[in-house]
Amino acid sequence: MSTEAAPLAVARSPVAPAAEGTPPTVPRRRRWAWLFLLGWLAQVAVRLWLASGQTMPVATPDEAGYLFAARVLTGGPDADLSWGTVYRGGYPLLLTPAFWLGDDPVTVYRGALVINAMISAAMLPLAYLLLRGLRVRRRWSYLFAHVTALLPGVLFYSEFVLTDAVLPVVLLGWLLLIHAWLAAPNPSGPSRRRVALHGVGASLLIAFAYTSHTRGAVFLVVHAGLLVVAVACRWRSWRGAAVSAFAFAAATGAGMLLNRSLLPHLYPDGDNDLSGNLVRRLTTQDGMGWMLSLGTGQIWYQSVATGGLAAVGLVTVAFAAARRGTPARPRVLALALLAIVAGIAFATSGALPVEYRVGNYVYGRYLACVTPILFAVGVAVLLRATRRTLLVAVAAAVALTLLTACVVQWYAGDRLSRYTYTRYDFPETSFLTWDWTSFHLWRATWAGLALLGLAVLASLLRRLGPLLLSGLLAAVALAMVVTATDNIARPLVRESTAHTDLRGRADLEGTRSVALDWNVPWTIRLSQFYWAWWSEGSVFNARDVRPPQNVDMVILAWPKKVPAAATWPGGAPAGWRIADSRRTAEGDWVAWTR
């Protein structure tokens, strides 16, 4: 982003001095190139180290949905996910190399995590470019780019086969490209081609995001709006905008065709109609209350999870959008970013079904793709703003955090303690409250604001301030991710493996088809589809129909006080035997093979 776009008031140290505006020499460029290469490798290594204990999908059903979509794209068997959330094909396309190189489910899964790590680590150079655009010095931009790449919303989710591993990189890449496209003067010759490439690149990234996740629909609308505004304000010519618009339309259309092609392979009986939920919420008073309150909870979470810095970034962007003196192009970008935050927070809340879990009311994953951008803006404020501006921005961030916490408390009330606590939903707040079994709204709020206070104190020190600030933020971010890995990710893998792993009990590689009883809990069903990697998967309801016999394996629900041998209605046909049976905390089941 250009100097003009930095939404900050009068700068103080450490501002990029005039000497830093001169082109670097060749040896200096080489040193920086090595710094970024080694930094990227270090970020990849951190991700692979943290993900070393992951051997199966545990963020169900999301991980399983993306894995099965990638399996279909590489010519593998179907898996019946009917009446579940639709998982799109953009992100699974990135996972296809793991399927070409792996020959068993664990190897494929680990290969997907390597791909995640390589893409997620690209946050380092992108965050550096963002911070440089906000006029932070080179050395501090590099240092805080590492901190940004270590945020739990970036790092923790790279341990799982989720779009959240790549969407932060995609969105930040789009922001940098669309800014370069909008801010460039009217080009001619080679510069015209460069500007056109910026526009095409931004369009392709947005189309990929849309093809990967429903959140991408928000990006799609915002990007289309920016294309229209650029032409209407004569910042770009009709011809220049048409190139970007064509790439945008073509890539989006291809993505829609790809997603449509997956539906019969993964959702033969239909999906859970999240768009219907959104329409109902938008057209009823109770639905609007639900949507606005839950969306507010997502904004609260991003503030607290980043020690208040995302809130500082958010109020700064809002100030840039509202301030009379902000130039038109930065103002439009600020408004676009605010639209993305609001669109994601409230649209995802509107689409959510009532699941009777705490994560319905406070949740961090959906906005995690925007968090690094807001965090970097918050860092720039701490490093560059005058003391008066800094205090105003921090006071506004504190007010925003407290206000959103009050909204959550008012709307959710005792449901925050009565409803199901899913530990996977709270990697950051669990660390802040040092409790991985229950949610504490106000303890997390005060802890997040205390971190913000420490960050402000560190930033006020002249020479050591940036170093202390980066050390504090990096230490907290890494502590959050390491404790989340130890207390959430790895226990989930151990438990899920113990509950579902049939290796050694059945010839899974020779099992070409498996049918699962709908009455088996869905977490068990999806895990069995995963272990039976070479098998065509289908679902039936044993309460209404007899188990199919034209398959190699049938997995049935196991009622209490019923012998395992009596789970086959009317008795098992000749040739069928029990391969395994388990009673687990997730659900009880019996596997039959022939």
Task: Write the pLDDT tens digit of every residue in 73-84.
Answer: 999 998 889 888
Q: So what's the pLDDT on residue 192?
A: 82
DSSP line for 257-274: HHHHHHHHHH-TT----H
| Residues of the chain predicted below pLDDT 70 | 1-24, 187-190
Asked if 404 contacts 343 with a C-beta cutoff of 8 angstroms, the reply is no
Domain map (residue ranges) of the chain: 30-167+185-216+231-272, 274-460, 513-593
Q: Which amino acid, 190?
A: P
DSSP state of 579: E
Q: What pLDDT shows up at residue 20? A: 54
The DSSP element (H or E) to which 537 belongs, if any, is strand 536-540
Q: How far apart are CA 365 and CA 357, in angstroms?
A: 15
The distance from CA 184 to its chain's CA centroid, rounded to whole angstroms, is 30
Tokens read off for 338: 């605010």
pLDDT at residue 274, rounded to an integer: 78
pLDDT of residue 25: 72
Q: Which two tokens stand for residue 237?
A: 């010519």
What whole-number distance in Å separates Cα of residue 123 and Cα of residue 350?
30
Q: Within a 10 A sphere around the Cβ of 371, how many other Cβ atoms?
A: 27
Asked if 291 contacts 281 with a C-beta cutoff of 8 angstroms, the reply is yes
Residues 301 and 429: beta-carbon distance below 8 Å:
yes
Query: Residue 232 in contact with residue 214, Cβ under 8 Å?
Result: no
Burial bucket for residue 571 (CB in 10 Å: 0-12, 13-18, 19+):
exposed
pLDDT number for residue 8:
41
Distance CA 442, CA 202 (A): 40
Q: Which of 378, 380, 298 is nearest to 340 (CA)?
A: 298
pTM over 0.85: yes
Under DSSP, the state recorded for 486 is I
Quick one: pLDDT at residue 15? Answer: 37
In whole angstroms, how far apart are CA 6 and each of 313, 393, 469?
A: 11, 14, 21
SS3 60: coil
Q: What is the pLDDT of residues 72-119, one digit of tens each?
A: 999 999 888 988 889 999 999 999 999 999 989 999 999 999 999 999
pLDDT of the residue at 279: 87
Q: Is residue 573 reached through a cis peptide bond, with omega within 30 degrees of 0 on the bond before it?
A: no
C-alpha pair distances (Å), 590 with each of 187, 374, 533, 583? 68, 49, 19, 9
pLDDT score at 21: 52
- CA–chain centroid gap for 8, Å, is 28
Instruction: State residue 202's pLDDT score.
Output: 97
Alpha-carbon span 116 to 401, nearest angstrom: 32
Predicted local confidence at residue 189, as pLDDT: 61
Cα of first residue to Cα of last residue in the chain, in angstroms, is 63
Q: Cβ atoms within 10 A of the Cβ of 426, count?
A: 27
Closest among 101, 175, 534 to 370, alpha carbons compared:
175
Sign of CA dihedral 426, 314, 135, 224: positive
Give the tens place of pLDDT for each residue, 409-446.
999 999 999 999 999 999 999 999 999 999 999 999 99
Residue 130 CB-half CA count within 13 A:
31
Closest CA to 68 of 487, 544, 536: 536
Three-class DSSP category at 253: helix
By C-alpha distance, which of 257, 266, 149 is closest to 210? 257
Structural tokens at position 355: 């699941």
Residue 62's pLDDT is 93
Mean pLDDT for all residues in the chain = 92
